[in-house]
């Protein structure tokens, strides 16, 4: 009997989705067929995953709370019924996708089973309640292991063909060595200061390590790019704050290396195969261990410690970051 497989992931951050790609691919390889996904629209998955051969269809759901909860459950039921899924894998501990699968009569509903979710699954092979403390990647890794699904490569990889987007982003193509700076983050306390990015670029420029710098940030943080340009008074910065995700990907792929805060673009860069350096002072690098990101931390940094105060990012000095980069790049 042919299997029809759907994988659900409900988190909205781009970086979180990228971290789940190895587990999605492992499920696809286990069944030797492509899989469907249900994700939040905010991930922009239909754009960034369009070239992944192990992914078939992508549907969006808002996974809202309150009065919209059952509306979104109903929408999930419709998707399940239309596609006649035999298997639904849920890669986090939320109840909604499992409830909808139960209503739809899906024969195989698999998930972490933490909390009330276990009531709606069709299997007793679930994580322990103590696994609530594991990060999302570790939860998915353990879930696959329990179900005897091999994880051949734990590192996120992303294939993205930019050809159809090159023309509308022609302003990002020009001669010269380019690097990318990821200057914002979803959480402000993870953001290095604008003046420190300026000092770092001055040090890198003196060593002839770039001709131009793409400033990568979302439109809501465009003030950071403007501030960097105003402080520096240099003409080598390219403000990418108005670019959509495809433009950001082009800028990153055009770069010799990426330096940035712990954010979606940093994870995106590493998944695209660009040499990537993460500026970490206030959160845990152990959560990012299945990554090819090279981490730059302050001298007195302690892993598995969260400091929700942006001022502590000042403990990461531009000259220390430069010394680390110069040794790695040279």
Confidence of residue 289 (pLDDT cuts 50, 70, 90): confident
Q: Percent of the chain, pLDDT > 70?
A: 99
1 pLDDT more than 70 = no
131 pLDDT more than 80 = yes
Average pLDDT of the segment spanning 99-104:
98
Q: What confidence score (pLDDT) does residue 286 get?
A: 87
Number of H helices, E strands in the chain: 11, 11
| 178-198 residue pLDDT tens | 999 999 999 999 999 999 999
d(CA 276, CA 159): 16
Q: Which are the contacts of 25, defined by CB distance < 8 A and separation ≥ 6?
A: 52, 54, 153
Check if the beta carbon of residue 24 is closer than 8 Å to that of residue 52. Answer: no
d(CA 163, CA 118): 45
Alpha helices per DSSP H over the chain? 14-31, 45-48, 69-83, 96-104, 136-146, 163-166, 194-206, 222-232, 245-253, 264-271, 318-329
6 pLDDT more than 80 = yes
For 40, phi and psi rounded to 5 degrees?
Answer: -75, 145
Average pLDDT of the segment spanning 82-100:
97
Confidence of residue 61 (pLDDT cuts 50, 70, 90): very high
Average pLDDT of the segment spanning 262-286:
96
DSSP for 121-146, please give it: -S-S----GGGGGS-HHHHHHHHHHH
**What is residue 314's DSSP assignment?**
G
CB atoms within 10 A of CB 141: 19
Check if the beta carbon of residue 222 is closer than 8 Å to that of residue 153. Answer: no
**Structure-token pair, residue 108:** 């195989």
Domains along the sequence of the chain with CATH: 5-146 (3.40.50.2000), 164-329 (3.40.50.2000)
Angle at 177 between CA 175 and CA 178, to 5 degrees: 100
Q: What confidence score (pLDDT) does residue 135 get?
A: 87
Average pLDDT, the chain: 96
* 3-class secondary structure, 150: coil
Q: What confidence score (pLDDT) does residue 330 get?
A: 63
d(CA 264, CA 182): 9
Residue with tokens 């002839």: 208
294 pLDDT more than 90 = yes
| 188-231 residue pLDDT tens | 999 999 999 999 999 999 999 999 999 999 999 999 999 999 99
20 pLDDT more than 70 = yes
Confidence of residue 2 (pLDDT cuts 50, 70, 90): confident
Average pLDDT of the segment spanning 153-178:
95
Confidence of residue 304 (pLDDT cuts 50, 70, 90): confident
């Amino acid at each position: 009997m042919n299997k029809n497989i759907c994988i659900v992931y409900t988190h909205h951050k781009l970086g979180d989705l990228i971290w789940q790609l190895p587990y999605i691919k492992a499920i696809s390889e286990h069944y030797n067929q492509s899989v469907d996904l249900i994700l939040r629209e905010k991930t922009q998955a239909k754009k960034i995953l369009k070239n992944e051969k192990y992914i078939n269809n992508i549907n969006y759901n808002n996974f809202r709370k309150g009065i919209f909860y059952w509306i979104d459950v109903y929408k999930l039921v419709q998707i399940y019924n239309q596609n006649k899924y035999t298997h639904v894998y849920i890669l986090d501990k939320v109840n909604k996708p499992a409830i909808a699968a139960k209503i739809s009569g899906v024969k195989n509903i698999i998930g972490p089973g933490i909390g009330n979710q276990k009531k709606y699954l069709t299997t007793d092979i679930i994580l322990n309640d103590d696994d609530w403390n594991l990060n999302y990647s570790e939860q998915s890794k353990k879930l696959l292991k329990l179900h005897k699904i091999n994880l051949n490569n734990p590192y996120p990889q992303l294939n993205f063909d930019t050809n159809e987007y090159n023309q509308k982003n022609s302003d990002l193509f020009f001669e010269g060595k380019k690097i990318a700076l990821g200057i914002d983050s979803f959480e402000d306390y993870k953001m290095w200061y604008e003046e420190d990015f300026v000092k770092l670029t001055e040090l890198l420029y003196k060593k002839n390590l770039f001709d131009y710098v793409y400033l990568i940030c979302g439109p809501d943080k465009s003030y950071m790019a403007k501030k960097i340009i105003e402080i520096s008074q240099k003409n080598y910065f390219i403000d990418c704050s108005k670019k959509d995700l495809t433009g950001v990907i082009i800028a990153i792929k055009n770069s010799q290396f990426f330096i940035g805060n712990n954010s979606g673009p940093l994870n995106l860069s590493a998944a695209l195969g660009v040499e990537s350096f993460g500026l970490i002072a206030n959160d845990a690098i152990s959560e990012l261990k299945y990554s090819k990101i090279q981490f730059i931390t302050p001298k007195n940094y302690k892993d598995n410690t969260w400091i929700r105060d942006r001022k502590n990012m000042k403990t990461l000095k531009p000259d220390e970051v430069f010394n680390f980069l110069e040794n790695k790049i040279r």
